[in-house]
Each structure stands twice: as C-alpha cells, then as structure tokens.
Amino acid sequence: MVWLNVCVLLLVTAAVLVLLAGPSQHQQVVVCFSPFIFIPLTVIVGLFGNRDWVFWLIAFGTGALILIRLLAPPFSLPKPVGPYAIGTTTRQFINRELRDALAPSGSDRWSEATVQFWYPISQETRGVCTPYLAHGMRVAEGAARLLRNERGQQFPIQFLSYSGIWFCRAHAIVDAEALTGTDPWPVVVVLTGFGGHRNMHTVQIEALAAQGYVVIGIDLPFICAHVQSAQDGSDCFVRPRAEVMDPIGTNAMISLVANQSNWVIARALALPTSDDAGVLASLNLGKVGIYGVSLGAITAGLIAQTNPQISAVAMADAEMHEAVADAGIGKPALWFTRTPDEMRTERNQSGGWSDEDIHATTSTVEQAMAHQPEGLSTEVHIPGIFHAQFTDVPLWFGALLRSHLEGPTPTRQAHQSINAHLLAFFSQWLSTRESS
C-alpha cells in the first residue's frame, strides 16, 4: 500500500530529526526511545505493506542501534569500594551580605551556592538513590554553551539520551539516616572546574565517602555549568570566559571565587549542628581537606593557603594563583600534574592548551612546590590522560565520541589511580581510620 509506505518514510524522517534534536526535556525523552520505532514499523509493513521494505527497515534499524551503542553505550558508575554505604543531601545557601560579583552586570544578585553532602551510612540502609546528574539536561546545555563559545565545538547532547544518563542513579541514598555512635568524620570539600558541575566528580566523591569521609560538593552560579537559583528559581548557566575572567584577569577572579567559597565552606561546616533533618553526621572540624580540578584546583590552593580550617589540599591539572606560586601553601599538598608533551598531544587532538597555558600551568606548580616546607609536597603523574579524565565526562560517551576527551590511558583506569592517590593522601593527613 502506497499510503503505508509514505507513512513509514515520514516516521523514519521524524526519527532522524528527533535524533538531531536540541536539549529540551521532551525531545530528549523521545530521543531515548526513538530507536524502538523500527520494531512496530517492521511488523506493520510486513503485515499490511510492501514486504520488500521489511529487509531495509530491519537493516536500517539494526544499523542505527549499533551506531547508537558505539556513540553512547549504556552509562554506569563503578560501585564504590569501602566499609560504608553512602547517604546524600543537598542544600542551597544565600549570602545576603555579599553581592555576586560573577553575575551579569545589572542583575543585582546575592552570592549563593548549591551544596551537596555525601556521608557514610550503614550498609543495611535502604532508600531511594539520588539521580547521578542533578538537572542533567541543563548541565549538559551549560557545558555545550561553554564549548561552543570557547572552542567553537559542538557538544553532542542528543546522543547522551541514548546512554540513559538522564535516568541513571548514583549509589548515594537521599536523606539517609547518618551513622550514630561513631567518631567525627573527616571532611573533603570538592571544587569543580570552569563550566563543570559537582556531579561530574561522582566517581571520586563516592570513593571517598565509602571510606569514611564526609564530602561537600559546591557549585557557584555563572562559573559552573548550571545552577538553579535559590533566589528566584532561574537557570544560571556558565558565562563565557571573556565576560567573567578576561576583564579582571585569572588571579583576581580566583580571589573572588575563593572569597565566595570560603563563606560557603564555613556555612556548610556549621550545618550539622543546626540541621533540623538530622541527616548529617558529626564532622571533625580539625580534619578538613579540599580537592579541586582545573579552576577548582587554583581556587583550592588559594583557600588552603589562607583558610586556617583547611588541613590538606589536593589539586588536579591547573596553574596556581600568584600568591600560591610566590609562597607555596604551607600545608600538605598533592598535585596531579601532566607533562607539556601530554598537554600538546591533547591540544592536537581536541584543542585548547595554548603554549601560554602550558607554561603557566607547569611553571607556577613548580614555583609553589619549591616554596613548600620539606615533606609537605606530593606530585603525582598519571601517564597518558587528558584534562577531562579528572572528571566523569568521558564515561558519558562511547568510543567514537570519547576520543577527544580521553588519552591513551582508559578513563576507568585513570579514575582508579586518581582514587587510590586521593585516598592515600587524605588518609595520611586527615583520617584516623584505615582506608581499604
């Protein structure tokens, strides 16, 4: 029947258009299930239409499913190893004594932050696990905007729907009851990079929480991929670097971010004594560490140098603030570093990493380490990894799309090494418990 064959062509065309859809929620739900349109189409055509089409429908549908699985295989997180299960809760803080210096001019917004806590709980605890990526589609949209503005690259958001990432859940149970009758837990604050998000570091965060740390992830509006404002519910996406960093310089911007972050850290550390829900464990305020990646690493170094409450700091793949380069941190510090050749290899493969960036990163880290007291510096080099592998992002995509994000060392292998070094470092300087 001609009419049926025409309908099939229209439906197949619609499926292809949906594949190329933007990041709206309804479109992405349709994208997730669109490959299965070929199953009923094949049955209908076989029963009522031109049966010569059945072969082509089966071939096209099978090929589409294979391609989709290569581009976006089912997303999964590695199960964290440790003696504890993990609970989590999220809070939003507003500082009504400080204006947000990173907000667009004229917006007149208070400084604010979204803060997520991960904490050890009993292995017997049952409950609903938290979504892996909070406001996932908007986070991906924010990351896409940044790549488009900074490098002219298109972030393939539409393919993420096929991986099921929007529906994936992490291992932490929402608002789970905290363990009681234990010693106070050491704390690790996690700061993401420019255009990043706290949930992009879930592999490291869950590894720490399962070993007996309370982990605090902080997202600030306009430098993180996306934050939903607690003031008016608006979507605060990352702003272009040319708007927030270039006018005042990297060091001045980091000072602003550190100032905001210090207030958030103080507020977060005070929460367990004033939290009516009682979901958070007691914190060992004498054992507070901080871990940052990229822009978060620059900020973490400055915070550790100036904030007496921070006992140890780990930093990944970033230059240092001028104050840190000139005087060191004066506390136990771990640097994850890469060689200039590895940075140039990444530049050739996926862009970024100008010669100026490479020099600033390597030279300022060397200067900061040279000023450190003896025995308080640790440098870790994991060969063959790219910048994005300090996050979960390469795990979002299949092999065909991951090549621009991943070096010769596979991301899961890189994460195992990063986790091992973080646990060893923080166990040495923060924890009185023995990590497994």
Q: Taking the mean position of all CA atoms in its chain, how far away is CA 366? A: 27
Angle, CA of 272, 273 and 277, to the nearest 5°: 60
- The residue type of 145 is R
Q: Taking the mean position of all CA atoms in its chain, how far away is CA 372? A: 29
- Domain map (residue ranges) of the chain: 2-71, 85-429
* Whole-prediction pTM: 0.85
CATH topology of domain 85-429: Rossmann fold (3.40.50)
| Max CA pair span of the chain | 83
Cβ contact 143:195 at 8 Å = yes
Region of residue 99 (left: phi > 0; alpha: psi -120 to 50; beta: else): beta
Q: What is the pLDDT of residue 29?
A: 45
Q: What's the N-to-C CA distance of the chain in angstroms?
A: 66
| Phi, psi (deg, nearest 5) at residue 210 | -65, -20
| Phi, psi (deg, nearest 5) at residue 155 | -90, 120
- From first to last of its 436 residues, the chain has per-residue pLDDT tens of 555 555 555 555 555 544 444 444 444 444 455 555 555 555 555 545 555 655 565 666 666 666 666 666 677 899 999 999 999 999 999 999 999 988 998 788 999 999 999 999 999 999 999 999 888 888 888 887 777 766 656 666 656 655 667 778 999 999 998 887 678 899 999 999 999 999 999 999 999 999 999 999 999 999 999 999 999 999 999 998 888 887 888 889 999 999 999 999 999 988 766 554 455 667 888 899 999 999 999 999 999 999 999 999 999 999 999 999 999 999 999 999 999 999 999 999 888 899 999 999 999 999 999 999 999 999 999 999 999 999 999 998 877 677 788 999 999 999 999 999 999 999 999 976 544 4
